[in-house]
Every structure is written in C-alpha cells, then in structure tokens.
C-alpha cells in the first residue's frame, strides 16, 4: 500500500529501532533521563533557544505555548487555516480559556500589515490580544513556507506592540530545507517554537517546545498537569534524536517527490493543481467534477491512500517511506481511476 495520507504514517526504520532498543533511560519527571536531556539540548541548540521540553504531541506543545503566553480571557490571533485553530479540538478555549480570532492569509501566510489591521483598540468590551501564532510550513496552505523577510517584519510589528509570537513549526524542518533559511533564523523571530519529530522526520512519537529557560521551566508544571509527564521516555526520545541527526537533510527527496507527483497530476485535464505552489512535501489537488470519497475508495482498491479534505479535494503527503517508484505508481493509479470516474 502506498500511503500518502500524511507523513505521520511512517514507521521506525531498522536503524531507528536499534537506537530505541539501546537507549539509556531514567525518570524524566525527575530530570534524570539522559536521552531526553540530550534531545532537549540538541533541539534548543538547533533553534537557538535557551531551553526545550520534550512532549508527546504537537498539539500539547502548541497548547503549552498558548497557556504560557496568555491568561484566561485573552485573545490569540492566527491564520484561518491554522492547526491551533482548526485541528486541536478546541483546546485553546477548553484548556486555556482564551478566545481565538482568525485572519485570512494567502496560502496560510499573512503580513505585518494584515496583523496590524486585525488588532482592535484597547477597550473593556474586547478581549486583549496578547499572542500571535504562525505555522511554518502551513499545512492547509499546501505546505507553504514563510518567507523570512515576511516573518521578520511580522516579528517586529508584534514585539513593538509588546505582544508575543509563537511558531507552530511542526514541519519547520521542511521549511528550512526548502528555503535554505536555518531553523534558528526562523526561530529568532519568535518567542517560542514548537517542532515535531513524528511527521516529516519519521519518529513514531514526540514533539518539543523551545523558548527561554524560565518559560520552559514553568511549562514543565503545565506539561505534568496535562498528563505529559512521562517517566522512562528515553526510548521515545531516542527515536526523535536519531531522526533529528539523520533525517533532516533527506527531506529534499520528499520535496522532489512532491513536485513529481504534482506535475504528473497536472497533466490530467480533470485535476486542478498548480505545481508551482508545491513548496515542500504536501500536495493538495481538486477534481471539481467528481466525488472525492468515491475516488479515494477506488484508489484504495488500487493500493493508494490519499486524504479526502473536501467534497472534491484531496491531500497527499510525501515522506521517507514513499519512493520515486511509488510516486510513479500513484500517478498511474490516480489517472486510471480518473479515466473511469463518473462526472457530476
């Protein structure tokens, strides 16, 4: 089966399994797990932050950032398609007591001017905006990468107004490879950064939140409160550490495969896709005259899995366990299905 639903479907490579089996472990809640400590140090160093904290998921990393940067009743400003807004089960409101207001970006990216225009004047009728969030790469935006100049300008505008800026960098590794801008340069613009090890890097579990030392120290209490205080977590951290050391540079292969897939699909008259908008490992496309679920079901019968994202839309994500041969086979299967798919 060629699974293009997400880069979360990867399984550990043989070398990663060895790293897991041989991991040195201890009680991480006591700060005594050497592998977790090494992962946190390395993550902080790559991002240029004082400290980092290993957590089970990207959602927990993001929600810890929201909790640490805000107070109940505050407002968080982010883009309409942001993961924090639409894919974290309402956690910002349910867990942190904040309201979320969205602004429309272009492929998930907005400017300093957009942010400034969205801010409301201080008034007792309004929740005060205290946090702005960005997502890099932007999933719903098609794996789009924030231009560093745009992010730098936004960062200046946010901090002049004494607000905080958090980056959901679940796929920041992809952004760095695609743009040639280091993770540290992106992170320098932000007060905190969440990164994920279980998406494009291919580890089975784990994310991290990075920021100032006192910020992360406070976050450890909230991590415990949310049930994220793991004990001998070094087995999980070992996989993430292996991925961080060995799988970052190879992301260029996934990006090349994504462009191959997009160009192959663009050659079919019934498929709507602009290959020029494919910047990293995510490919989004539409078939306006057919039912998406029907097409997905037919593709599954041919050994290809894609994610249905709307009545006529799909997402395909390339990852380390999809080869060039798999891409060619997926293109062929999609075209064969389209040849027999009924038009609306």
CB 3 within 8 A of CB 331: no
Q: Specify the pLDDT at position 47.
A: 98
9 assigned to some structural domain: no
306 and 163 housed in the same domain: no
41 and 153 housed in the same domain: yes
d(CA 118, CA 225): 33
CB 237 within 8 A of CB 39: yes
Q: Specify the pLDDT at position 338.
A: 84
194 and 308 housed in the same domain: no
Count of structural domains within the chain: 2
Helix intervals (H) in 189-281: 213-225, 234-246, 251-266
For residue 312, the domain's CATH number is: 3.90.1150.10
Is residue 65 exposed (0-12), middle (13-18) or buried (19+ Cβ within 10 Å)? buried
Q: Specify the pLDDT at position 340.
A: 77
163 and 262 housed in the same domain: no
Range of the domain at 52: 14-246
In Å, what is the CA distance from 139 to each residue of 86, 112, 275?
Answer: 11, 20, 16
Q: Specify the pLDDT at position 344.
A: 66
Q: Specify the pLDDT at position 66.
A: 98
pLDDT digits (tens, 9 = 90+) for 208-250: 999 999 999 999 999 999 999 999 999 999 999 999 999 999 9
180 and 268 housed in the same domain: no
- Tell me which H or E stretch contains 192: strand 192-196
Cβ-Cβ contacts under 8 Å for 339 (sequence gap 6 or more): none
- For every one of its 344 residues, what pLDDT tens digit does the chain have, with 9 covering 90 and above? 999 999 999 999 999 999 999 999 999 999 999 999 999 999 999 999 999 999 999 999 999 999 999 999 999 999 999 999 999 999 999 999 999 999 999 999 999 999 999 999 888 999 999 999 999 999 999 999 999 999 999 999 999 999 999 999 999 999 999 999 999 999 999 999 999 999 999 999 999 999 999 999 999 999 999 999 999 999 999 999 999 999 999 999 999 999 999 999 999 989 999 999 999 999 999 999 889 999 999 999 999 999 999 999 999 999 999 999 999 999 999 999 987 767 76
Q: What is the pTM of this model?
A: 0.96
Tell me the torsion sign for CA atoms 17, 23, 26, 30: negative
158 and 279 housed in the same domain: no
d(CA 259, CA 318): 10
Which residues in 114-140 are b (16+ Cβ under 10 Å) and which e?
bbeebbeeeeeeebebbbbbbbbbbbb
d(CA 259, CA 119): 37
29 and 154 housed in the same domain: yes
325 and 222 housed in the same domain: no
Cβ-Cβ contacts under 8 Å for 199 (sequence gap 6 or more): 6, 7, 8, 58, 170, 171
2 assigned to some structural domain: no
For residue 242, the domain's CATH number is: 3.40.640.10
333 and 235 housed in the same domain: no
191 and 118 housed in the same domain: yes
92 and 228 housed in the same domain: yes
CA angle centred on 182, ends 180 and 185, rounded to 5°: 125
Q: Average pLDDT over the chain, rounded to whole?
A: 96
159 and 234 housed in the same domain: yes
């Amino acid at each position: 089966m060629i699974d293009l639903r997400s880069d979360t479907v990867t399984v550990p490579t043989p070398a990663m399994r060895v790293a897991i089996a041989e991991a040195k472990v201890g009680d991480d809640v006591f700060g005594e797990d050497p592998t977790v400590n090494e992962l946190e140090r390395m993550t902080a160093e790559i991002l240029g932050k004082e400290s980092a904290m290993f957590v089970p998921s990207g959602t927990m990393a993001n929600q810890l950032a929201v909790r640490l940067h805000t107070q109940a009743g505050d407002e968080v400003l982010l883009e309409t398609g942001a993961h924090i807004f639409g894919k974290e089960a309402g956690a910002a409101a349910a867990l942190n007591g904040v309201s979320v207001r969205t602004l429309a970006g272009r492929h998930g990216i907005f400017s300093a001017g957009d942010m400034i225009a969205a801010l409301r004047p201080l008034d007792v009728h309004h929740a005060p905006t205290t946090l702005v969030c960005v997502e890099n790469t932007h999933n719903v935006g098609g794996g789009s990468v924030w231009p560093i100049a745009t992010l730098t300008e936004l960062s200046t505008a946010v901090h002049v107004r004494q607000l905080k800026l958090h980056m959901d960098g679940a796929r920041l590794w992809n952004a760095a490879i695609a743009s040639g801008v280091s993770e540290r340069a992106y992170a320098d613009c932000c007060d905190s950064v969440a990164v994920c090890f279980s998406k494009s890097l291919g580890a089975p579990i784990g994310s991290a939140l990075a920021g100032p030392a006192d910020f992360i120290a406070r976050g450890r209490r909230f991590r415990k409160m949310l049930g994220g205080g793991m004990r001998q977590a070094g087995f999980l951290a070992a996989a993430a550490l292996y991925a961080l050391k060995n799988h970052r540079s190879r992301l260029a292969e996934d990006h090349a495969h994504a462009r191959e897939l997009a160009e192959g699909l663009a050659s079919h008259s019934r498929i709507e896709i602009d290959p020029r908008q494919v910047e990293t490992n995510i490919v989004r496309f539409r078939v306006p005259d057919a039912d998406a679920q029907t097409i997905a079901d037919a593709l599954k019968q041919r050994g290809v899995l894609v994610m249905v994202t709307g009545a006529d839309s799909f997402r395909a994500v390339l990852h380390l366990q999809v080869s060039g041969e798999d891409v060619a086979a997926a293109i062929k299967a999609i075209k064969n299905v389209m040849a027999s798919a009924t038009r609306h």
